[in-house]
Structure 1
């Protein structure tokens, strides 16, 4: 019997103390499409996303991530992960079909860092209504309908006060993520790692934040734009809406062209992301960056997020 596998990043469930402002930010400024609203929760996706949603917004007393969700390669993989995780000592909670809008039966569990993950397979892929539908049969919505208009959901970056190496090890051994790049300082401890289950450089990144109040922090969620010019256009749109941002710039790690902005409703940081590279080699060796590489690794050129207040974790995850 083959081991269960994760296929891709699915969605992030975000709770916000100012739902109206967060909805304005993600829908009108970032440019996501609203799939539907159910019992006060808004479900959104980018114009090139096919699943029911890649982001949900729910009102709450503070900003935090309820869970980060991943879709498996096969239906039976959900049960497979449940068994493997329980065997490894992880408590698993079943979410029955219908409890969460947009997908079927799922499991939820926490990493050693207490970040909450969800795994599912069955998913709704609703068509866009006729007014918003693209004429392209391989695209969900019309592009450039509003705002920055990213194509798709790309990755998440979580922060922790725990040993980053321990979390990377858990993601690798229990969930099948592959380490692509990492940063190791002179004390020989890994302080950041980029991992994926797809050819992307990272579907998830884990970074150290020793002074964080809790071990389960979010650094950012990320949406993909097609090219650097799209990022520059997004900068104009953010500026026109009076929203502060960091960037544009280029990371050495991942070679990504980036811009960072914070949702004024929830405090969730969003990276608008382009460039980077794909990993197609089956024998890829993880790339090591050291403390001496800092000036190139984090910021190859441009506005340095490491030197800004915006680099701090924003909310719990």
Structure 2
């Protein structure tokens, strides 16, 4: 039997303690399009995203991430992963088709770190109203209609304070993520890993942070823009709206250009992201960085990332 495979990152389910602030941030400032609002949950996507949503936002007592969704390569992979996970002794919950709007039957489970993942294949690709639809047949919405206007959802960055070796092994050996770059100490313990199921440098980054408040945290979610000028334009837009942000800068790890800004409603950080490189080599060997190079790995040039400060403002994952 073929091993099931994940095709791509799908969406993040976010809870906000101030829904209106989050909607203003994501719709008006970041510039995401709203697909639907159903029972108080708002479903959003970028102008180049095809599936129903890449972000859902709802009201709660505090800000946190409920789960992170991933689309599989084939419909039968959902059942394949269920069997594989159950063989590993993982508690798997079935989510009925369309219980989450736009998402077919899914399996939901926790990583050893405590982060909740969901795997599905079937999706809806809703038609867009004519006044919002792009004239391009290969694009969903009009670009640059509002706000920063990133093209697509790109990656998530997760932190944990426990079960790190088990989680790295789980991500690679059970879920099939490939290690692209990593940070390690003298004992060759992995302190951070950039992993993907696509040709991207990372669909998920997983970082060990023993000092975090709770075991499972989300450092940021990321939306992709086409080029560096888009990131500079984003800085102007954020400044006009009174937002503090980190960047622009460029990572050494991934070679990508970034800005970090935080949603004032949920506390969820968003990375606005461009550049980097793609991996097509079938025999790619992970690029190894030593912990002494951590600061340089984070910031090649530009506005430096204060990693300790950013850790303090991670959002809980449940």
TM-score bracket relative to the smaller structure: over 0.9
Does the Cα contact within 8 Å between 2:267 and 2:313 map onto a contact in 1?
no
Q: In structure 1, what is the Cα distance between the partners aligned to 2:230 and 2:46? A: 14
- 1:9-40, Cα deviation, whole Å (9 max, x unpaired): 00000000100000000000000000010000
Q: In structure 2, what is the Cα distance between the partners aligned to 1:315 and 1:188? A: 28
Does the Cα contact within 8 Å between 2:52 and 2:102 map onto a contact in 1?
yes
SS of residue in 2 equivalent to 1:305: coil
Residue 293 of structure 1: CA displacement?
2.2
Residue 302 of structure 1: CA displacement?
1.1
Q: In structure 1, what is the Cα distance between the partners aligned to 2:110 and 2:199? A: 25
- 1:78-102, Cα deviation, whole Å (9 max, x unpaired): 0000000000010000000131111
Does the Cα contact within 8 Å between 1:165 and 1:191 map onto a contact in 2?
no
Q: Which residue of 2 aligns with 1:21?
A: 21
Q: Which residue of 1 aligns with 2:95?
A: 95
Residue 190 of structure 1: CA displacement?
1.1
Aligned residues, how many? 317
Q: Which residue of 2 aligns with 1:146?
A: 146
Q: Which residue of 1 aligns with 2:306?
A: 306
Q: In structure 1, what is the Cα distance between the partners aligned to 2:312 and 2:290? A: 21
Q: In structure 2, what is the Cα distance between the partners aligned to 1:178 and 1:49? A: 24
SS of residue in 1 equivalent to 2:221: strand
SS of residue in 1 equivalent to 2:202: coil
Q: In structure 2, what is the Cα distance between the partners aligned to 1:66 and 1:294? A: 29
Q: Which residue of 1 aligns with 2:109?
A: 109
Q: In structure 2, what is the Cα distance between the partners aligned to 1:9 and 1:57? A: 17
Matched, 1:86 2:86: yes
SS of residue in 1 equivalent to 2:213: coil
Q: Which residue of 2 aligns with 1:51?
A: 51
Alignment of 1:116-135 (within 5 A): 116-135=116-135
Does the Cα contact within 8 Å between 1:94 and 1:105 map onto a contact in 2?
yes
Q: Which residue of 2 aligns with 1:268?
A: 268
Unpaired segments ≥5 residues, structure 2: none
Q: In structure 2, what is the Cα distance between the partners aligned to 1:126 and 1:277? A: 31
Residue 164 of structure 1: CA displacement?
3.0
SS of residue in 2 equivalent to 1:192: strand
Q: In structure 2, what is the Cα distance between the partners aligned to 1:275 and 1:154? A: 12
CA RMSD in angstroms, aligned pairs only: 1.1
Does the Cα contact within 8 Å between 2:113 and 2:164 map onto a contact in 1?
no
SS of residue in 1 equivalent to 2:239: helix
Does the Cα contact within 8 Å between 2:47 and 2:140 map onto a contact in 1?
yes
Q: Which residue of 2 aligns with 1:42?
A: 42
Q: In structure 2, what is the Cα distance between the partners aligned to 1:166 and 1:3? A: 20
Residue 312 of structure 1: CA displacement?
3.1
Q: Which residue of 2 aligns with 1:214?
A: 214
Q: In structure 1, what is the Cα distance between the partners aligned to 2:214 and 2:119? A: 23
Residue 308 of structure 1: CA displacement?
6.2
Q: TM-score, normalised by structure 2?
A: 0.98
Residue 162 of structure 1: CA displacement?
1.6
Q: Which residue of 2 aligns with 1:245?
A: 245
Q: Which residue of 1 aligns with 2:75?
A: 75
Q: Which residue of 2 aligns with 1:284?
A: 284
Residue 213 of structure 1: CA displacement?
2.0
Q: 1:266 to 1:295 in 2, by over 3 A?
A: closer
Q: TM-score, normalised by structure 1?
A: 0.98
Does the Cα contact within 8 Å between 1:164 and 1:192 map onto a contact in 2?
no
Residue 289 of structure 1: CA displacement?
0.3
SS of residue in 2 equivalent to 1:253: coil
